[in-house]
Each structure stands twice: as structure tokens, then as C-alpha cells.
């Protein structure tokens, strides 16, 4: 053995002197590399096929014997050598091990490639189903929705043929989550219905927890909170019986989403979920908790707080290589920057994340952010027209929550421009469903309708809408609701000729927007207050002039033209 080792060292040294090999840099062991890939290819091609197989098998066995504690690290190399040696079953096992390891560390492209390599060697239906599911997860994270959907469906067919209820539940859940994140809520619900039908003959299993959770989220966003609670309760009971810690994190997230009526409890649920998820290394669940917390804070008017959670979610999504989540978090951050009047920062962030939307922007999140920025920068007519088209697309796609968010943004711009008839049409369509509390509370469509009715001189309707809005907002309205109610109160007072009351309500609304850090809206309301003061019989009111000057200075400081 010593002699053969000596001979090997001599041969390697001679090949290195001839310029065919070179010592590997930074290698703890004596290791040589070919100086050029063509030299390696030529040497390999000169071997007989049987010799190649023998050598690959010997290398694989040597790696196993020399480094038994590092087999997980060397799984990809071992898989390659065993595959080249014709040992398909062993190679498949190592490819799967390498793929699972890559997936767990969010090396998604590597994981997808290893799963595909394992699939070419898999013969048993159970192995094929499991590998298709792993590949689907990796492809979904990379944003390859069509390929991932096909892979999930292939896995579902394999698990159906194997009568594996637990595998079927897991793969349907994966397909539903992919579809849900792609913005297709109706498609998610359709897959959910198919899953429940397919699982009916199978006994209950913990794998069904995720399915009920995803159904709860999709049902909620389709505008059916009561139905969502039914699925949430089924998930909770299953997790309780299974003692599943990960499921408990997911259910905390879900409870935080559904607990719309209790703001403090909602944030507590989500904070607990984020903390547990990060402690457990479940970055995907932590990302989801931060996303829901950020949106909850936006609804409450805490834009700086929301931006912190969107930034955290962006980092987590990037760490996981999860393109769609990173796009969603980045656009949430951009929207906060726009509302806070940080237009240069928003423009820079838009340019930086636009590449993430190369594979699609199914929720139109980037498009809506870009359109809103253009509006504030002065392109109001074009931005309003574009946002109107985006809202129509979202409605056609059936994504109820995102459509509501789009309508909320659009009607806000229409009110800003005084486009009362257009706003009236939009609000008439959304008012019956806005009270479900799926986005921005339950009152906004009614206090916006009160503004419109007052501006169109329908004072009775305005008063009725405003009274309903107060009831829906409750005794402790959120900051956005408070500002909206004050604006509607001001419009109604102006329509009734109560100019002092109108000026006071406009001033209160401006203060509410100031407390939220929204300078554009605050400046617009200063101008409205100034106009109300002048209309009240004091055309030379110095306070009105001061308000107009403050508004002009604010727009100049923002670097945008005054409307």
C-alpha cells in the first residue's frame, strides 16, 4: 500500500510538471485539479466504460469509508459517483439527501436540480411522489409558478395512486399555498375543495393541518370571515391533538389575521408567532408573521412600524431565496415610503426590486406602488387611469382582499381630485362587501361615500353614510378611520354652510394625517381648511393665508408639484 501510494504521488507530480494538473488551492488534503476542463474531458473519454464505472464506484466507496461523518456534506458528490457507477438506488438516495439539505438551507436552484437528478433514477411510485413534491417546493420558491404547479399535480397523482392520505394532504397544501401566493384566491379554494373530496376516504392526519390553515386564509380573503373561522377551528383542533409545534405557530399567525376586531390581541398573536418561528428556525413562518403584522400596522396607521416589519420580511425572504415573498415585502415597504412622503427613496427601491417582478407580479403590487408614486409626483390623470385598469384586473382575477386594497387606493385618489361621480360609482360597488373587514377596517367605504354625497349636495345621504361609518368604526377608531371620519364630517358641514365647523373638522383631519406621518394629505387638508375659512366670510383671513403657505412649503419640501 505504501509503495502504491508512493507511485501515485510520483505520477501526480510528473503530471503536474507537464502542466496537466495543478495543486488545488486552499485544500487541507493533497488534492490536484486538471488545469483545463478539456484535459479532463479527454482523459475521461479515454477510459473504457467498464473502467469508468469501476473507478466511480471505488471513489464513492472510498469517500464513504474515509469520511463517514461527512456523508451529508458529500451527498451530491457521492450521488454523482454512484450514478456513474450504475448504482441507481444508492445514487437516488444521495441525490435526495443533497436536495433535502439544499432545500432546508434555501439553496433552491441547487435543490431543484438534485431532485430532478434523483427523479431520473427513481423507480418506486412513493419515491417519485416525494421527489416531485420536493422539486415543486423549490421551483415555487424560485417563482416558477407554472413548473411548480405541474410538479405538485404530478406528486398528487402519484400519492393518489399509492392511496397515501398524508402525502396527498401535504401535496395539496403545497399546491394551494403556491396558488394562494400567486394571487389566485379562487384557484386556491378550488384546489381546497378537490383536496377535501380526495381526502374523504382517508383517516385524519396531522398533514391536514396546513390544508385547513390555507383554506382559512383563502376563505377569509374571499370575503367570508365566518367560513374562515370554521376552517381555522378545524386546524386548531387537529394541531392540538397532534401536539405539532410548527402548526401552533401557523395557527397563531392565522388567529392574528382573523382577529380583526381586537387590535391588541391581533398584534400579540402575530408577535408570538414571529418570535416562536425565528427561534425554531422556521424562516418561512417568521416571514409570514412579519407580513401580517406589517399589514395590520398599515391598517392602524403606524407606517414607520409597518415599514420595519416589511424590511424584516424582505431580509427573511431574501435569505430563503423566496422571490414572490421578497417582491411582496419590498412593495409593502415602497408603499409605506410613498405615504410617508419619501418619494426619492420609493423610486430608488422600485428600481432595485423591479427585477424581482420579471417572472410576474400576480398581485399587481409593484404596478400599484409605481402608479401611486407617479400620482404623487404629478402624473395624476395617467396614474388614475392606470390604477382603474389594475383594479379591474384584480376584480376579474377574484383576489378579494387585494381588489379591496386597490379600490381603497383608487377612491382615495378620486376624492383628492374631486372626481366625485367616478368615486360614487366605485364606492357603490364596494360598499356592500367592505363591511366584512377584510382590508382597512369596515368603515372606509361609508365615510368616503359620505364625502362624495356631501360634495354632490346630497346632504341626507351624506349624513346617513356618516352615521353608519361611525357605527362601523366603533368607539375607538383607528387613525385612518379617525381621519376619514373627520374629512367626511368637514365635507358635510361645508355642504350645510357651517363653515366654522368645516374648518375645525378639516384641521382635525390634517392633524390625524400628520400623526400618521402623511405630509401630502396633511397639506391638502390645510388647503381645504383655508378654503373653508375664506368661504365663511373672511376672504383675507390671515390664518387661511398661513395655511396655504404651509401647504405650498410642504409640497416644495417633498419635491413634487402642488396639486
How many residues are recorded in the chain? Answer: 563
CB 447 within 8 A of CB 487: yes
End-to-end CA distance of the chain: 87
Q: Is 21 helix (H, G, I), strand (E, B) or coil?
A: strand
- d(CA 492, CA 455) in angstroms, rounded, equals 8
Q: Which helix (H) or strand (E) holds 23?
A: strand 21-23
CB 529 within 8 A of CB 506: yes
CB 307 within 8 A of CB 333: yes
Residue 493 has pLDDT above 80, yes or no: yes
Cell of 222: 374571499
Confidence of residue 48 (pLDDT cuts 50, 70, 90): low
Cell of 465: 353614510
φ and ψ of 23, to 5 deg: -60, 140
pLDDT in tens, 321-363: 888 888 889 999 999 999 999 999 999 999 988 888 766 666 6
φ and ψ of 63, to 5 deg: -60, -40
- The pLDDT value given to residue 97: 94
**What mean pLDDT is predicted for residues 267-294?**
92
- Across-strand partners of 33? 22
Percent of the chain with pLDDT over 70: 91
pLDDT in tens, 71-101: 888 999 899 889 888 899 999 999 999 999 9
- d(CA 543, CA 563) in angstroms, rounded, equals 21
The residue among 182, 181, 177 whose CA lies nearest residue 195 is: 177
- d(CA 301, CA 306) in angstroms, rounded, equals 9
- d(CA 57, CA 62) in angstroms, rounded, equals 8
Cell of 85: 457507477
Look at the pTM and tell me if it is higher than 0.75: no
DSSP string for 248-296:
HHHHHHHHHHH-TT-HHHHHHHHHHHHHHHHHTT-HHHHHHHHHHHHHH
Cell of 362: 400576480
Q: Which helix (H) or strand (E) holds 385?
A: helix 380-397
**What mean pLDDT is predicted for residues 160-175?**
95
φ and ψ of 33, to 5 deg: -125, 150
- The pLDDT value given to residue 7: 59
- d(CA 313, CA 253) in angstroms, rounded, equals 14
182: Cβ contacts below 8 Å, ≥ 6 apart:
145, 324, 360, 362
- d(CA 250, CA 211) in angstroms, rounded, equals 11
Residue matched to cell numbers 390645510: 526
The residue among 314, 317, 296, 315 whose CA lies nearest residue 306 is: 296
**What mean pLDDT is predicted for residues 230-236?**
89
- Across-strand partners of 23? 32
- The pLDDT value given to residue 322: 85
Identify the burial level of 201 via C-beta atoms within 10 angstroms of its C-beta, where 0-12 means exposed, 13-18 middle and 19 or more buried.
exposed
CB 98 within 8 A of CB 79: yes
- The pLDDT value given to residue 2: 40
Percent of the chain with pLDDT over 90: 61
- The pLDDT value given to residue 491: 96
Q: At what angle do helices 108-121 and 88-104 cross, to 10 degrees?
A: 160
Confidence of residue 220 (pLDDT cuts 50, 70, 90): confident
Confidence of residue 256 (pLDDT cuts 50, 70, 90): confident
Residue 30 has pLDDT above 70, yes or no: no
Q: At what angle do helices 519-535 and 499-516 cross, to 10 degrees?
A: 170
Confidence of residue 3 (pLDDT cuts 50, 70, 90): very low
- d(CA 152, CA 24) in angstroms, rounded, equals 42
Strand segments, DSSP code E, in 31-89 are 32-34
Least confident of 109-118, 265-274, 382-391, 396-405: 396-405
**Average per-residue pLDDT for the chain:** 89
- The pLDDT value given to residue 451: 97
3-state DSSP percent of the chain in helix, strand and coil, to 5: 80, 0, 20
Amino acid at each position: 500500500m505504501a509503495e502504491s501510494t508512493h507511485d501515485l504521488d510520483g505520477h501526480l507530480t510528473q503530471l503536474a510538471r507537464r502542466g496537466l494538473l495543478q495543486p488545488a488551492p486552499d485544500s487541507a488534503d493533497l488534492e490536484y485539479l486538471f488545469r483545463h476542463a478539456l484535459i479532463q474531458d479527454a482523459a475521461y473519454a479515454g477510459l473504457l466504460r467498464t473502467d469508468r464505472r469501476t473507478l466511480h464506484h471505488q471513489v464513492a466507496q472510498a469517500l464513504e469509508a474515509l469520511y463517514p461523518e461527512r456523508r451529508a456534506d458529500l451527498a451530491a458528490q457521492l450521488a454523482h459517483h454512484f450514478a456513474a457507477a450504475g448504482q441507481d438506488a444508492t445514487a437516488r438516495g444521495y441525490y435526495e439527501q443533497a436536495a433535502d439539505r439544499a432545500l432546508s438551507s434555501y439553496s433552491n436552484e441547487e435543490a431543484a436540480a438534485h431532485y430532478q437528478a434523483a427523479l431520473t433514477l427513481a423507480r418506486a411510485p412513493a419515491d417519485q411522489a416525494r421527489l416531485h413534491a420536493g422539486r415543486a417546493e423549490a421551483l415555487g420558491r424560485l417563482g416558477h409558478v407554472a413548473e411548480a404547479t405541474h410538479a405538485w399535480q404530478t406528486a398528487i397523482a402519484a400519492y393518489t395512486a399509492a392511496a397515501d392520505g398524508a402525502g396527498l394532504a401535504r401535496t395539496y397544501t403545497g399546491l394551494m399555498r403556491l396558488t394562494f401566493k400567486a394571487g389566485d384566491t379562487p384557484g386556491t379554494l378550488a384546489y381546497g375543495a378537490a383536496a377535501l373530496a380526495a381526502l374523504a376516504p382517508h383517516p385524519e392526519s396531522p398533514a391536514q393541518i396546513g390544508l385547513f390553515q390555507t383554506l382559512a386564509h383563502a376563505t377569509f380573503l374571499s370575503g367570508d370571515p365566518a367560513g374562515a373561522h370554521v376552517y381555522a377551528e378545524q386546524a386548531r383542533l387537529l394541531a392540538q391533538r397532534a401536539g405539532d409545534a410548527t402548526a401552533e405557530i401557523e395557527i397563531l399567525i392565522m388567529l392574528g389575521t382573523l382577529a380583526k376586531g381586537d387590535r391588541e390581541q391581533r398584534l400579540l398573536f402575530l408577535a408570538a408567532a414571529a418570535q416562536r418561528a425565528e427561534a425554531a428556525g422556521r424562516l418561512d413562518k417568521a416571514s409570514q408573521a412579519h407580513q401580517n403584522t406589517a399589514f395590520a400596522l398599515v391598517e392602524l396607521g403606524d407606517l414607520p412600524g409597518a415599514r420595519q416589519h416589511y424590511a424584516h420580511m424582505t431580509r427573511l425572504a431574501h435569505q430563503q431565496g423566496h422571490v414572490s415573498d421578497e417582491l411582496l415585502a419590498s412593495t409593502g415597504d415602497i408603499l409605506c415610503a410613498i405615504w410617508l412622503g419619501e418619494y426619492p427613496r420609493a423610486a430608488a427601491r422600485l428600481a432595485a426590486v423591479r427585477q424581482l417582478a420579471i417572472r410576474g407580479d400576480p398581485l399587481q403590487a409593484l404596478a400599484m406602488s409605481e402608479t401611486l408614486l407617479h400620482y404623487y409626483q404629478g402624473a395624476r390623470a395617467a396614474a388614475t387611469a392606470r390604477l382603474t385598469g389594475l383594479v379591474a384586473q384584480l376584480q376579474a382575477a377574484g383576489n378579494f382582499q387585494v381588489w379591496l386594497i386597490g379600490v381603497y387606493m383608487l377612491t382615495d385618489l378620486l376624492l383628492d381630485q374631486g372626481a366625485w361621480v367616478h368615486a360614487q360609482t366605485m364606492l357603490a360597488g364596494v360598499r356592500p362587501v367592505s363591511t366584512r373587514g377584510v382590508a382597512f377596517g369596515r368603515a372606509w367605504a361609508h365615510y368616503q361615500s359620505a364625502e362624495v354625497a356631501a360634495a354632490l349636495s346630497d346632504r341626507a345621504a351624506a349624513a346617513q353614510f356618516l352615521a353608519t361609518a361611525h357605527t362601523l368604526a366603533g368607539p375607538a377608531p383607528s387613525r385612518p378611520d379617525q381621519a376619514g371620519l373627520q374629512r367626511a364630517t368637514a365635507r358635510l358641514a361645508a355642504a350645510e354652510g357651517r363653515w366654522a365647523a368645516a374648518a375645525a373638522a378639516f384641521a382635525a383631519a390634517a392633524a390625524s394625517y400628520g400623526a400618521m406621518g402623511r405630509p401630502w394629505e396633511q397639506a391638502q387638508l390645510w388647503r381645504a381648511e383655508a378654503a373653508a375659512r375664506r368661504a365663511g366670510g373672511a376672504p383675507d383671513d390671515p390664518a387661511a393665508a398661513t395655511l396655504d403657505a404651509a401647504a405650498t412649503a410642504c409640497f416644495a419640501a417633498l419635491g413634487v408639484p402642488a396639486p
